[in-house]
């Protein structure tokens, strides 16, 4: 048992409280990680605000990186002292989804509860991670060993936002060189979809966003064109920039209007890749006869359909070559004690990624 500081959510929509909590030692197949960084994802904020329900009290945070400080029995491939990235992807390795190469869709309920509060109450380890804390205990399937050449703050971004955006392009869409894409939303995940399309060899990459400032940033990450979502029928401007409809449209925001209009950007045979997650109960609508008549499709993509042991080392290598931007995604570094201020700053929409850093 170890005493650590953590940011605890006790009421949806209320500020997090910094508390001293107890972390259990790693059990069979688990590792303990002393965190150096945990980025703030909009998914964390949606949960904290009650948009998706969930169990309280809870510790959120799921884009983390640090060093292994203890290991449980049966752990292989990593050792104490290793630098690692911690993801929320907990995979049993044996269910039909895992066996079929889709660990992000693991069908086994691998619930653990390493956190307890000061009075002994169980604290929910949200999204299998609980990364808004000085240390975490997670299943070994959730971690990937890093090289010594990547700084921990940059590495934390690989746990979710980067793999989700880049993975949506290379895995879910299986984009081929020379194809054209539209990315709706130029936030953290959208920028990674844009640079994923650049890396994959897309011909035209059109960013669509509400902000001219974000469209300018999108060009820095590889967008060839930018379209304001506030213009009348923005899909027309996107098609004009491409010269046709897009082969793939990536919706990286949880806004229903973005989902309603996404098929309008497509070419015949194109597909919408659904990445952004609206609040539970939110509904979108589309005209199915148009998709049927034009051979178009809609595909959900969870966490970029990644296999972390395959995809994260590849992305680290791209970063070390200077081909994948990570440092440029970091908007601010905040201590754990200022997590509520960091969340408020993220909510403004101006931040690409705010990161909680631990000494």
pLDDT exceeding 70 applies to what percent of the chain?
100
Give the per-residue pLDDT at 158: 97
Which are the contacts of 233, defined by CB distance < 8 A and separation ≥ 6?
264
Residue 294 sits in the same domain as residue 330: no
pLDDT value at residue 264:
96
Pairing of strands 17-23, 2-8: antiparallel
Check whether residue 143 and residue 38 sit in a common domain: yes
Average pLDDT over residues 176-185: 98
Q: What is the pLDDT of residue 109?
A: 82
One domain for residues 148 and 172: no
Q: Across all residues in the chain, what is the average pLDDT? A: 95
pLDDT tens per residue across span 40-74: 999 999 999 999 988 999 999 999 999 999 999 99
Give me the number of domains the chain comprises: 2
pLDDT-derived band at 159 (thresholds 50, 70, 90) equals: very high
**Same-domain status, 25 and 148:** yes
Q: Is the pLDDT of residue 284 over 90?
A: yes
Residue range 293-308: mean pLDDT, rounded: 96
Tell me what pLDDT residue 278 has.
92
Tell me if the pTM is above 0.85: yes
Q: Are residues 149 and 168 in the same domain?
A: no
pLDDT of 286 = 87
Q: Report the pLDDT value the prediction gives residue 35, as an integer from 0 to 100.
A: 98
Residue of 27, 184, 173, 19 lying closest to 111 (CA atoms): 27
The pLDDT tens digits for 83-97 are 999 999 999 999 999
Q: What pLDDT does 140 receive?
A: 96
- At 189, list the tokens: 């995940």
- C-alpha 305/C-alpha 169 separation (Å) is 10
What local confidence, expressed as pLDDT, does residue 270 receive?
Answer: 97
Query: Of 103, 87, 209, nearest to 157 (Cα)?
Result: 87
| Alpha-carbon span 142 to 61, nearest angstrom | 14
Task: Flag whether pLDDT at 1 surpasses 90.
Answer: no
One domain for residues 177 and 283: yes
Q: Are residues 153 and 295 in the same domain?
A: no
Q: Is 355 helix (H, G, I), strand (E, B) or coil?
A: strand
Instruction: Print burial letters for 208-244: b (CB count within 10 Å at least 16), e (below 16).
Output: bbebeebbebbeebbbbbbbebeeeebbebbbebbee
Does the structure show a pLDDT above 90 at 120?
Answer: no
Sign of torsion over alpha carbons 84, 88, 91, 92: positive
Examine the pLDDT at 141 and tell me if it is beyond 80. Answer: yes
Instruction: Quote helix, strand, coil % in the chain, to nearest 5.
Output: 35, 25, 40
Q: Which residue has the higher pLDDT, 149 or 45?
A: 45
The CATH number for 44's domain is 3.90.180.10
Quick one: pLDDT at residue 112? 72
Domain that holds residue 331: 2-159+325-357
Domain containing 205 — which CATH number?
Answer: 3.40.50.720
Domain boundary (266, 287, 302) is at: 302
- Is 250 within the bounds of a domain? yes
User: Which ranges of the chain does DSSP label H, i.e. alpha helix?
Assistant: 42-48, 96-99, 152-156, 161-167, 188-200, 212-220, 234-242, 256-261, 288-294, 308-321, 339-347
Q: Is residue 309 part of a domain?
A: no
Q: Is 311 left (phi over 0), alpha (psi -120 to 50) or beta?
A: alpha
Same domain, 292 and 335: no
- Residues 6, 134 within the same domain: yes
- Interval 219-278: pLDDT, tens: 999 999 999 999 999 999 999 999 999 999 999 999 999 999 999 999 999 999 999 999
**pLDDT surpassing 80 at residue 110:** no
Instruction: Give CA–CA dist 26/111, Å, rounded.
Output: 14
Whole-angstrom Cα distance, residue 124 to residue 130?
8
Residue 22 domain-assigned? Answer: yes
Q: Is the pLDDT of residue 149 over 90?
A: no
**How far is residue 119's CA from residue 152's CA, in Å, rounded to a whole number?**
33
The single-letter DSSP state of residue 238 is H
**Residues 55 and 204 occupy one common structural domain:** no
Residue 98 sits in the same domain as residue 190: no
pLDDT score at 198: 98
Tokens 């009290």 found at: 57
pLDDT at 350 over 90: no
**Per-residue model confidence (pLDDT) at position 27:** 94
- CA distances 272 to 21, 118, 175, 266, Å, are 43, 47, 12, 8
Distances (CA, A) of 73 to 79, 80, 252: 12, 13, 39
Angle among Cα 351, 356, 359 to the nearest 5 degrees reads 145
């Amino acid at each position: 048992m170890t005493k650590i500081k953590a940011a605890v959510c006790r009421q949806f929509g209320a500020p997090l409280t910094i508390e001293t909590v107890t972390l259990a030692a790693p059990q069979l197949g688990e590792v303990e990680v002393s965190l150096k960084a945990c980025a703030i994802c909009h998914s964390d904020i949606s949960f904290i605000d009650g948009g998706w329900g969930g169990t309280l009290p809870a510790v959120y945070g799921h884009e983390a990186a640090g060093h292994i400080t203890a290991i449980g029995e049966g752990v292989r491939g990593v050792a104490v002292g290793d630098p690692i990235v911690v993801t929320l992807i907990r995979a049993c390795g044996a269910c039909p989804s895992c066996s079929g190469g889709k660990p992000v869709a693991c069908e086994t309920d691998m619930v653990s509860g390493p956190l307890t509060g000061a009075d002994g109450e169980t604290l929910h380890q949200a999204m299998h991670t609980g990364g808004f804390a000085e240390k975490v205990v997670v299943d070994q399937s959730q971690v990937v060993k890093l090289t010594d050449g990547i700084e921990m703050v940059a590495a934390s971004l690989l746990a979710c936002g980067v793999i989700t955006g880049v993975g949506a392009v290379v895995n879910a869409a299986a984009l081929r060189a020379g194809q054209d894409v539209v990315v709706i939303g130029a936030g953290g995940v959208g920028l990674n979809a844009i640079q994923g399309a650049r890396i994959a060899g897309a011909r035209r990459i059109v960013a669509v966003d509400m902000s001219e400032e974000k469209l300018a940033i999108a060009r820095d990450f590889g967008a060839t064109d930018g379209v304001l979502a506030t213009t009348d029928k923005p899909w027309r401007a996107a098609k004009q920039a491409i010269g046709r409809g897009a082969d793939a449209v990536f919706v990286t925001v949880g806004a229903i209007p973005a989902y309603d209009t996404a098929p309008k950007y497509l070419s015949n045979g194109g597909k919408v890749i659904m990445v952004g997650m609206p609040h539970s109960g939110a509904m979108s609508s589309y005209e199915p006869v148009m998709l049927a008549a034009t051979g178009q499709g809609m595909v959900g993509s969870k966490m970029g359909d990644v296999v972390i042991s395959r995809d994260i080392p590849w992305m680290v290598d791209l970063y070390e070559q200077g081909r994948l931007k990570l440092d440029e995604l970091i908007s601010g570094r905040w201590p754990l004690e200022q997590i509520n201020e960091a969340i408020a700053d993220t909510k403004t929409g101006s931040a690409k990624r705010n990161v909680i850093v631990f000494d």
